[in-house]
Amino acid sequence: MTLSTQLYSATIARLLSDTVGALPDVTMPLTEAVGWRLAADLVTQYPSPSFDNSQMDGYGIGYANVAGGRFRVGPDVPAGTNPAEVYHYGVNGYGHDTAVPIMTGAQIPEDVVAIIPVEHANPPRFVDTGEYVQLPAVEVGAFIRPKGSDVLAGTLLARAGSVVDAALIATAASQGITELTVKARPRIAVIAGGDEVVTGPTPVAAKIFDANTPLIAGFAQTHGMHVVATGSTTDEVRDFRVELDRLIRDYAPHIIITSGGVSEGKYEVVRQVLERLDVSWVGKIHQQPGGPQGYGVYGETPIIALPGNPISTLVSLRMLVLPALWTAFAAGAEPTAIQVKIHDAVTGIRHKTQYRRAVVGTQGFELVATLQGEAGSHLLAQAVGANALIEIPPLARYKPGQVVTAHLFADTKLEASVPRPPMLRQPVAELQPETGGSNGKTGVVIIASTRAAGGVYPDDAGPQLVQWLRSKGYVTPTAQVVADHELAATLAQLMSGQDGPLPDVLITSGGTGISPTDQTVEVIAPYLDVQLPHVMTAVLLEGLNNTPLAALSRGIAGVAGDMFIATLPGSLGGVQDGMTALDDLIDHIVEQIRGEDHRRPED
């Protein structure tokens, strides 16, 4: 059986959970914790600021003097000085006409109610103690930063799982905190090589320099992976085993990642070792580049075996290893995917999902992806500058301006300006069947979610609906994710027929509740020639088996022309309830719409 990218990554995650298990939290100095994730909520111990202090270099005055006037200058209060040691009985005890020279950040003396910046004084400078200065009128509280005005004691600064950044460690330091407890990252050792690889700086005939070890190390650095050691091997099984034993003995890694030696060649040393292990798998997944993959457990240490072409290694790290590490340990970079418009026309290949290198950037107020380089897995230089992988499903045909899924690298910056897509409209992606089936059934999935469309969180429902329709023989493109207010225009474009015949099935998810922004029912209803209320009753009954909240969905179903439409809730659970309820109905409905003699159970 050949696995999809997502299923294989989930398989690796289960392997890591079963073999490595939960990792104990780690305590480290503040500056070392940057980029790691908090293991527990971080709560303030003290208010900040911890005392009323001056916002400016200036003169502090009492309440009786806020109207301004000529005042005698008292002793200085520099930052870090306890004012009670200077003004033992408060400022009024020193004299009611006193102006206190006070510096930025200094604690406010007793009886001072406002600060006048020194440049507003006459003369506009600090004068000696005992001399006089003319000050303007001022409001009570001016240029005084009250105690706790930034944060109060007991305030939640950051939740467990938050990424530690410079502002967080600075705030922690201001609380007297010197260490943070963070989620542990698994210790990773890397092995690359083969007889064809040379590690030194001098070219050798018929050999190549090692690019994969730096590639994995660099990816790890930007994606929160903890590489503790690297190694290399020849094409000899004995040498590979010796290197495995050395790394495990000297560095105690939780995981070993290999690059190369896992394909069908005669000298695939990693494959040969994996196939002899009690727990292992070596084969190909529905992915390009990076089809050959493998895993195993060597002693007690899991091995993740990646293919050796550099771009295959890169794609495998982003699409397989990173999601598996996040699922198993919730540490490091969280995989992020967003919806963008594609600048280039592109067609997918048969049976495999392609992941093409791209630059995602801004074009006006839109995010646009421009493909970078060709699809070859050896074209390493053409990956320089790419900040995302664009997902191209099997035989998908995307036109410029259509929406695609971009899997971002963790260090992606979206400030880059990219060319505007040469488009007049935003049609739904076209697909051709992968098989020679004659039924020609087609489907389209539209997700109505403003937050998912804006990249606030990933769309989890769309891929499940698409996979379900495809499993039932419906040729279905990747789900289109639109904001709630864009649904009407998206549906109008689909119904216009400008992008080809209508699909047999349209499934929407989201916008069926009672929120003011939920408008899917209102958008869909006018298109229905025939309503099928009991179809949604079946969905409702399935949902009520799981949660009473299913009763809040206003979803509708019916027929528009020759197309069956069902509007499912936006929650993943609601979508799963809908797929369960529709699984035995959808083919029957489509056959009736087509006027075909539907199959009987005994057929």
Report CA-CA distances (Å) from 333 to 14, 166, 318, 322, 499: 18, 17, 10, 8, 38
Closest residue by Cα to residue 571 from 462, 489, 477: 462
Per the CB < 8 A criterion, the answer to whether 37 and 164 are in contact is yes
Domain CATH code at residue 128 = 2.170.190.11
Q: Quick check: 213 and 313 in contact, CB under 8 A?
A: no
What one-letter code names the amino acid at 103? M
Weakest mean pLDDT among 45-59, 239-253, 344-358, 486-500 = 486-500
Sign of CA dihedral 46, 47, 49, 52: negative
Same domain as 382, residue 287: no
C-alpha span between 76 and 82 (Å, rounded): 11
Residue 599 — very low, low, confident or very high, per pLDDT cuts 50/70/90?
A: low
Query: Do 109 and 157 fall within a single domain?
Result: no
Domain boundary among 293, 314, 329: 329
Is residue 429 assigned to a domain? no
Q: Residue 275's pLDDT is what?
A: 94
34 and 78 housed in the same domain: no
Contact status, residue 28 vs residue 182, Cβ threshold 8 Å = yes
Are 209 and 314 contained in the same domain?
Answer: yes
Q: What is the pLDDT of residue 515?
A: 86
Give the per-residue pLDDT at 74.
96
Residues 290 and 308 grouped into a single domain = yes
Determine the pLDDT at residue 415. 61
The distance in angstroms from the start CA to the end CA of the chain is 27
Question: Which pLDDT tens digit goes with each residue over 77-126?
Answer: 999 999 999 998 888 888 889 999 999 999 999 999 999 999 999 999 99
Q: What is the arithmetic mean of pLDDT over 204-214?
A: 81
List, in order, residues 6 or more apart from 242 with CB less than 8 Å away. Answer: none
Give the range with max mean pLDDT: 67-81, 374-388, 443-457: 67-81
Which ranges of 395-460 does DSSP label H, i.e. alpha helix?
A: 450-453
453 and 407 both lie in a single domain: no
Whether 62 maps to a domain, the answer reads yes
At 19, which helix (H) or strand (E)?
Answer: helix 5-19
Residue 94 and residue 44 in one domain: no
| Same structural domain, 282 and 403 | no
**Mean pLDDT value across the chain:** 89
**What percent of the chain has pLDDT above 70?**
94
Structural domain includes residue 359: yes
Q: Using the predicted structure, report yes or no on whether residue 447 has a pLDDT greater than 50.
A: yes
Q: Is 17 helix (H, G, I), strand (E, B) or coil?
A: helix
Residues 366 and 315 in one domain: no
Q: Which of 299, 329, 359 is the last residue of a domain?
A: 329
| % of the chain residues with pLDDT over 90 | 68
Residues 265 and 359 in one domain: no
CA 328 to chain centre: 16
Q: Does 44 lie in the same domain as 62?
A: no
For the cut 70, the answer to whether the pLDDT of residue 429 exceeds it is no
231 and 321 inside one domain: yes
> How confident is the model at residue 434, as a pLDDT?
40
Question: DSSP per residue over 193-225, as a string?
Answer: E-TTEE-SSS--TT-EE--HHHHHHHHHHHTT-
Dihedrals φ, ψ of 359, to 5°? -110, 120
> Which pLDDT score is estimated for 424?
32
Residue whose structure tokens are 């909240």: 549
Q: Give mean pLDDT, residues 192-204.
A: 77
User: Would 175 be classed as within a structural domain?
Assistant: yes
CA-closest candidate to residue 388, choices 364, 365, 404, 366: 404
Asked if residue 538 is part of any domain, the answer here is yes
Contact present, 331 and 183 (Cβ < 8 Å): yes
Beta bridge partners of 557: 566
End position of a domain, from candidates 424, 457, 475: 424
d(CA 229, CA 463): 37
Q: Copy the structure tokens of residue 466.
A: 């698409």
- Domain of 358, CATH number, reads 2.40.340.10
Whether 11 is in a domain gets the answer: yes
Residue (of 289, 242, 240, 243) closest to 267 by Cα position: 240
Position 364 in a domain? yes
pLDDT on residue 200: 74
Phi, psi of 418 (to 5 degrees): -120, 160
CATH code of residue 166: 3.90.105.10
Tally the domains of the chain: 5
Residue 350: other Cβ atoms inside 10 A: 9
pLDDT for 565 beyond 50: yes
CATH code of 577's domain: 3.40.980.10
Structural domain including 41 reads: 27-48+150-182
Comparing 382 with 442, the larger pLDDT belongs to 442
Q: So what's the pLDDT on residue 418?
A: 63
Q: Quick check: is 300 in a domain?
A: yes
Query: pLDDT tens, 273-322?
Result: 999 999 999 999 999 999 999 999 999 999 999 998 899 999 999 999 99
pLDDT exceeds 80 at position 490: yes
Mean pLDDT of 408-437: 54
Which residue did the predictor score with more confidence, 500 or 110?
110
CA–CA gap between residue 134 and residue 527 (Å, rounded): 78
